[in-house]
Amino acid sequence: MASKITEQQVKHVAELAKLEFPEDELGKFTTQLGNIIDMFEDLTQVDTDNVEPMTSATDRVNVMREDKAVKSSKEETDALLKNAPDTDDGYIRVPAIIDESEDGE
């Protein structure tokens, strides 16, 4: 079966996954992905009528715990913040949500 995926679709999926592929790699990547998806097509040979999907190998369901907040120590908070790329006075800094470079356009 011929590959079903196009460069346009790859771009769309990349957008959903928050990834970007440079134009010069897109062709190769689409081919690779297409080959793997062709392999996925083998599953159409399997009769799965009346088969329930299985999404986990555990038989445990609805395991509950007490809904209780746990307070973190200053040390823990500091250690967490040390892993953040950019912080300011106990907060994590992020760039503006709105692209300021577009203001003047």
Partner 1 sequence: MDFYQTDLSQLHADLVNKKISATELTKETFDHIEANDDQVKAFLTMNKEAALKKAAEVDAAGIQDDQLTAGVPLAVKDNILTKGLRTTAASKILENFNPVYDATVIEKLNANNFINVGKTNLDEFAMGSSTENSAFFTTHNPWDLTRVPGGSSGGSAAAVAAGDVLGALGTDTGGSIRMPASFNGVVGMKPTYGRVSRWGIIAFGSSFDQVGWLTRTVKDNALLTAMISGNDPHDMTSSVKEVPDWAAQLNDDTNVKGLRIAVPKEYFEGINDDVHDVIKAALDHLESLGAIVDEVSLPHTKYGVPAYYILASSEASSNLQRYDGIRYGFRAKDVKNIEDVYVRSRTEGFGEEVKRRIMLGTFSLSAGFYDAYFNKAAKVRRLMAQDFDNVFKDHDVIVGATGATPAFKIGAEIDDPQTMYMNDVLTVPVNMAGLPAMSVPAGFSAKNGMPVGLQIIGKAFDEQTVYNTGYVFEQTTDVHKKAPKLGGQN
Contacting residues toward partner 1, per CB under 8 A: 5, 9-10, 13-14, 16-20, 29, 32-33, 35-37, 39-40, 42-46, 48, 51-58, 60, 63, 65, 76, 79-80, 82-86, 92, 94-101
Neighbouring-strand partners of residue 91: 88
In 3D space, the residue among 45, 43, 37 whose CA is nearest the CA of residue 4 turns out to be 37
Nearer to partner 1, 23 or 45 (CB): 45
Q: 21 exposed, middle or buried (CB, 10 Å; 0-12, 13-18, 19+)? A: middle
CA 32 to chain centre: 19
How far apart are CB 55 and partner 1 at their closest, in Å? 5
SS3 44: helix
Shortest gap between Cβ of 24 and partner 1 (angstroms)?
Answer: 14
Least Å distance, CB 31 to partner 1, is: 11
